[in-house]
């Protein structure tokens, strides 16, 4: 009997070790170091009420300040520059702005409540609106994030429609990934996608939020690869390379992928093929700690900016020397 128990224990240990080696990657790069944090809860300039999206352009950081219905703009050291927008549905107004993108001198704002993408000049002038409420082509049900290709086409994470839509600059439909209104964990299916990022060569990366994984597609929409937990089939966890809801995705200057790992209170960094590189952050409210990082973006010099959701602040991180 003792031999049987010992045998089962040994087999379980071997099985767990094999699982660990197979599904928990080792760190390939040093972690990042904390540089600065700014913000607190409120509605004054420099304060936030749910920061939910970030983008960097021309030496400025754009922050979606969701419950305040505005975009706040800072220099890259956290000094307030300006703000625009207010809660509402009219052009120039915002309904829960989420993940942001900048392309060709314009800011693209996914509006969760207004079911549209609104495009502003970087000075805050509203330029145009794409989309409307619905589940048809070019319509949205709570868009969570947007990315723009080099030629100006849009890819939008259409959260409650469980799909990613590709649209032309005028909003006309090109194609969609996923099945409208249906969740799934197979390749090319989604479970509440939250954000999209596109590399210079056109590869499309989708933060498949509640599937706890990242999916990659070619520029014409063909599935390429996926990662996040064992086999990337909606298994969440706290280990390196696993996720507990991926809420934002960004591409660094060297083409690496940064993901806001919401419930794990960290940012994870990957090579484009999904190889885990490093992670940073831990749970808390002190410097360098997160209470649910919801959005991430990367500056041209590699500095990483994080929207620290429940702490109502922005954090700046830098690659370790």
Partner 1 sequence: MNHILRAALSLMIVIGALAPAFAMGQGYRLGVDGLACPFCAYGVEKKLSEIDGVERVETSIKDGAVIVIMNDGAALDETAARQAVQDAGFTLRGFTKLPAGDTGK
- Which of 96, 103, 163, 189 touches partner 1 by CB under 8 A? 96
DSSP assignment of 264-288: GTEEEEE-TT--EEEEE-EESSSTT
Mask 45-74, x = binds partner 1 (CB under 8 A)? -----x-x-------------x--------
- Residue closer to partner 1 (CB basis): 96 or 266: 96
Mask 196-235, x = binds partner 1 (CB under 8 A)? -------------x--------------------------
CB 179 within 8 A of CB 160: no
Q: Is 144 in the site for partner 1 (CB under 8 A)?
A: yes
- Residue closer to partner 1 (CB basis): 32 or 305: 305
Closest by CA to 132, choosing from 103, 165, 105, 107, is 165
Bridge partner residues of 100 (DSSP)? 109
**Residue 52 C-beta: closest distance to partner 1, Å:** 5
- Which of 245, 251, 298, 306 touches partner 1 by CB under 8 A? 245
- CA–CA distances in Å: residue 220 to residues 175, 201, 208, 249, 311: 9, 12, 18, 20, 39
CB 70 within 8 A of CB 20: no
Q: List the structure tokens of 26.
A: 């080792």
**Of residues 252-311, which lie at the interface with partner 1 (CB under 8 A)?**
262-263, 292, 294, 309-310
Residues 6 or more apart whose Cβ sits within 8 Å of residue 155? 146, 147, 148, 149, 164, 165, 166, 196, 198, 204
- Residue closer to partner 1 (CB basis): 56 or 66: 66
Binding interface with partner 1 (CB under 8 A): 50, 52, 66, 96, 98, 112-113, 142, 144, 159-160, 192, 194, 209, 245, 247, 262-263, 292, 294, 309-310
């Amino acid at each position: 009997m003792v031999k049987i128990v010992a045998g089962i224990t040994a087999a379980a240990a071997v099985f767990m070790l094999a699982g660990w080696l197979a599904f928990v990657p080792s760190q390939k790069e040093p972690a990042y170091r904390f540089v600065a944090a700014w913000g607190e809860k409120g509605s004054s300039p420099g304060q936030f009420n749910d920061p939910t999206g970030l983008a960097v352009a021309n030496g400025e950081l754009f922050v979606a300040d969701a419950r305040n219905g505005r975009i706040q703009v800072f220099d890259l050291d956290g000094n307030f520059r300006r703000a625009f927008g207010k809660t509402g549905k009219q052009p120039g107004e915002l309904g829960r702005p989420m993940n942001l993108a900048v392309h060709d001198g314009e800011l693209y704002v996914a509006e969760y409540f207004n079911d549209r993408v609104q495009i502003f000049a970087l000075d805050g002038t509203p330029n145009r609106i794409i989309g409307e409420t619905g589940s048809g082509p070019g319509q949205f049900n709570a868009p969570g994030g947007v990315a723009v290709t080099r030629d100006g086409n849009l890819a939008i994470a259409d959260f409650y429609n469980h799909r990613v839509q590709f649209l032309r600059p005028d909003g006309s439909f090109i194609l969609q990934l996923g099945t409208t209104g249906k969740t799934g964990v197979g390749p090319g299916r989604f479970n509440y996608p939250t954000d999209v990022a596109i590399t210079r060569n056109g590869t499309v990366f989708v933060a498949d939020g509640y599937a706890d994984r990242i999916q990659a597609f070619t520029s014409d929409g063909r599935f390429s690869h996926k990662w996040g937990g064992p086999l990337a089939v909606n298994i969440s966890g706290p280990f390196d390379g696993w996720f507990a809801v991926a809420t934002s995705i960004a591409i660094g200057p060297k083409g690496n992928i940064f993901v806001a790992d919401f419930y794990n209170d960290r940012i994870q960094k990957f090579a484009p093929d999904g190889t885990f590189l490093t992670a940073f952050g831990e749970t808390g409210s002190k410097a360098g700690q997160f209470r649910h990082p919801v959005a991430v973006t990367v500056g041209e010099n590699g500095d990483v900016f994080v929207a620290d959701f429940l702490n109502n602040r922005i954090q700046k991180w830098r690659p370790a020397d």
